[in-house]
Structure 1
Amino acid sequence: MKPIPALALLLCLATLAGCDAGRSAPTAQMQATPSDGARQHQDTLIRVPEGSPLRQALIVAAVAPQPFAPTLEAPGTIEAAPERLVKIVPPLAGRIVRLHHQLGDAVKAGDPLVTLDSPDLGAAYRDDAKAQAALLQARQDFERQQTLNQADIAAAKDLQAARQTLTAAESDARAARERLAQLGAPVDAASRREYVLRAPIAGRVVDMSGALGGYWNDTTASLMTVADISTVWLAASVHEKDIAALSVGQAVHIALDAYPGRQFEGKARYIGDLVDTDTRTVHVRVAIDNRERLFKPGMYAHATLEGPSQPALLIPATAVLQSGLATRVFVEQAPFQYESRLVVLGRSTDDKVEVVSGLKAGERIVVQGGVLLND
């Protein structure tokens, strides 16, 4: 075996030394303590050294319980109050011979709305007249049989038959008279064919389906609708998970797309007893004064419901830092020494958020500039 020349041996040793240096360099870099001059890491703390410009940018404040009235956002629609919206359905078929009011007219309770020429009304009057005549005849026959029976001229069975006939006639007469009363037709009306539909409540004519001269034969469809919308309802849909925060009487702020920039106030009057199984929401009804007629049934609205005030740890939204799925704040442990801590947040209001866990009252946190400390 030939000896290795000295020059070749030196070259091999130099190459090996270079490889060892390359492998040890990353290790030395990983073990170095990070420091950029403006901040320094010390165990779990971040320290801002003296002279660092960060000292002027960081604002620290103590965390303290504050009154907190949580709010709920819910979509809704404007509806007419059910007891103040009446669909006028004629109980009789007939031809429209007069429209006393037009669409949009204001009416009072009892005002005439539509006059129908109705053969059915004439038939009801004829039935009443026949029933009354039959009753008169049955009463006279019974009185005559009573007189004959007392004189021992007529048999007892004839008196009994007359009594039964009278009872039947009284029943028929009563039914015919009740039919007229149900229709609202006076017994002594001058016209026995003209039927007048009257307004059951005060309000406005908001819908009309019939026309002058037309024949109305559907006694299940509304000919006209009268509504009083001086007070309307906001029906807000609140999610099932927020039901516990609802209460009758709580304040509600209302915004409408029709009036941008304006806000209206109301109070929750009724919380639904049933949950919509399709949307998993419950309806909250809010009564709204609508004497200015700004609210139109069918409008979309946005409701903000205020919950009862309660103490809570509130921090500025600027103090919260999002790091992936984690939410953190910087807690002061000593002057210009801060710990990054995980927190759990609750509801928010304006520019503040509620801290559910992770902080205690009295602790001081970075409320502004914390992003400069974040790695």
Structure 2
Amino acid sequence: MIALEKLQKLQPRARLLIATAVAIALAGALWAVKAERGGDAHHQPADAVNAQLIRRGGAIFVPEGSPYRARIAVAPVQQKSISRSKLVTGAVEADPTRTVKILAPVAGRVASLDVSLGDAVKKGQRLASIDSGDLAQAVADAEKARATVKLTKSAFERATGLNKAGGLALRELEQAQNDYRQATTELKRAEARLEVIGDSGTVSGQRQIVLTAPIDGTITALETAPGDFIDNATESMMTISNLEKVWVTASVQEKDLSFVQKDERVEVTLLAYPGEVFSGKVQVISQLLEADTRRNKVRISFDNPYGIFKLNMFASVRFFAPAAQSLLIPSSALFIVNDTTSVFVETAPWTFQRKPVVIEADYEGSTIVRGLEPGQRIVVRGGVLLND
């Protein structure tokens, strides 16, 4: 009462200041009481009971009542015996064991050309003729050698008779014998030269040789024409390939060589025959990897009696790896972060942990991986909710 009487005696302004201070003090007291009652809720950790996810170290827990439980699906890792395949590009090529390059045996000028590019030829068929001064010289050398042999032989026989009659010294007999031997050797050399020239064709007259086909086949390359002068015995005039058997040569990347095994099944398709599959086997695997492309040549042989395979045709070649046990998971289970691929593995009910995996290949809508165990349960849907 005394305090009230004193308050009433104060000026209105002073009374207003005192009332304001009291109100502030009461508000502070009420806030302190409220904070004390609700302090536990304000100081709870991040993994509160009502949280959608709780993270503890590397583990992620989806608590009961979290709406994420309805959006996350878990399934076991499957193991199956599968045979993977790899599709690569290729091209049709001639079999080198059935291909011959036609070379000029002597320098000279092409007098006639009797075939065209793409012509089919038979063994022994006339291809071209060459007029050659070198051939004329070789023929003349052979004729001279024959004449010399004939002359020295007669001289040797005459010297032998005189020596027996005592009319010729032994030294002169030996000289006649040596002359005959040298002439015989020179004749053999000259005839061998003509024989080598004749292996490529038929010598006609003193200056001309007719080139003939050494095998049945097709003219697949032609690098000469009538009037062309041939001065390099190593340059090919034309190429004959027997195309009754051909190769399909595939270019396989280094990382895919595990799909290639000798004598394994191969399927080839050609752009010219869509929908048709040609089955074959791997014949040759090159032991040399191309340094610039990091690819390996793999060849498959095909019979080609009807000429279906044309040289330089583009082909698609499918190789099949041997069957092996593989782990399959849906592609939706994979997450790529900073070049690392991982999945979420269930370590306990509704508890998950990220685990890195290695992708090997895609297979019928699924992915073949390494780094998991058969039967492990992983997140196959809704994993994006766990991926921070």
TM (normalized to structure 1)? 0.78
Which residue of structure 1 aligns with residue 186 of structure 2? 172
Q: Which residue of 289, 297, 312 maps to 1:275?
A: 289
Which residue of structure 2 aligns with residue 116 of structure 1? 130
* Conserved? CA contact 2:344–2:354, under 8 Å: yes
Give 3-state SS (helix, strand or coil) of 1:5's partner.
helix
Give 3-state SS (helix, strand or coil) of 1:176's partner.
helix
Q: Whole-Å Cα distance in 2 between the matches of residues 260 and 277 of structure 1?
A: 33
* Conserved? CA contact 1:345–1:353, under 8 Å: no
Once the two structures are superposed, what CA deviation does each residue of 1:304-362 show, in whole Å capped at 9, x if it has no partner?
4322212222233344344563421454955xx463542413422332322311x3223
Q: Report the alpha carbon displacement of residue 242 of structure 1 after superposing the two structures with TM.
A: 4.8
Structure 1 pair 244–214 and aligned structure 2 pair: CA distance change class (3 A): closer
Q: Whole-Å Cα distance in 2 between the matches of residues 117 and 125 of structure 1?
A: 13
Say which one has the larger Rg: 2
Structure 1 pair 144–28 and aligned structure 2 pair: CA distance change class (3 A): same
TM (normalized to structure 2)? 0.76
Which residue of structure 2 aligns with residue 327 of structure 1? 342
What are structure 2's unaligned runs of at least 5 residues? 1-13
Give 3-state SS (helix, strand or coil) of 1:278's partner.
coil
Once the two structures are superposed, what CA deviation does each residue of 1:163-192 show, in whole Å capped at 9, x if it has no partner?
111111111110111111101169996633
Count of residue correspondences: 363
Which residue of structure 1 aligns with residue 83 of structure 2? 69
Q: Which residue of 107, 111, 136 maps to 1:93?
A: 107
Establish whether residue 232 from structure 1 lines up as the match of residue 235 from structure 2.
no
Q: CA RMSD in A?
A: 4.1
Q: Report the alpha carbon displacement of residue 259 of structure 1 after superposing the two structures with TM.
A: 6.0
What are structure 1's unaligned runs of at least 5 residues? none
* Conserved? CA contact 1:251–1:267, under 8 Å: yes
* Conserved? CA contact 2:203–2:209, under 8 Å: no
Q: Report the alpha carbon displacement of residue 283 of structure 1 after superposing the two structures with TM.
A: 2.8
* % identity of equivalent residues: 32
> Matches of residues 336-351 of structure 1 in structure 2 within 5 Å?
337=350, 339-348=352-361, 349-351=363-365
Give 3-state SS (helix, strand or coil) of 2:289's partner.
coil
> Matches of residues 309-328 of structure 1 in structure 2 within 5 Å?
309-322=323-336, 325-328=340-343
Amino acid at match of 1:169: A
Q: Whole-Å Cα distance in 2 between the matches of residues 374 and 290 of structure 1?
A: 59
* Conserved? CA contact 2:270–2:316, under 8 Å: yes
Which residue of structure 1 aligns with residue 369 of structure 2? 355
Amino acid at match of 1:328: V
* Conserved? CA contact 2:129–2:208, under 8 Å: yes
Q: Report the alpha carbon displacement of residue 113 of structure 1 after superposing the two structures with TM.
A: 0.7
Which residue of structure 2 aligns with residue 134 of structure 1? 148
> Matches of residues 21-36 of structure 1 in structure 2 within 5 Å?
30-33=46-49
Give 3-state SS (helix, strand or coil) of 1:206's partner.
strand
* Conserved? CA contact 1:96–1:215, under 8 Å: yes
Q: Report the alpha carbon displacement of residue 208 of structure 1 after superposing the two structures with TM.
A: 1.9
Q: Whole-Å Cα distance in 2 between the matches of residues 287 and 314 of structure 1?
A: 35
Q: Whole-Å Cα distance in 1 between the matches of residues 266 and 25 of structure 2?
A: 85
Amino acid at match of 1:200: P
Give 3-state SS (helix, strand or coil) of 2:167's partner.
coil
Q: Whole-Å Cα distance in 1 between the matches of residues 298 and 186 of structure 2?
A: 50
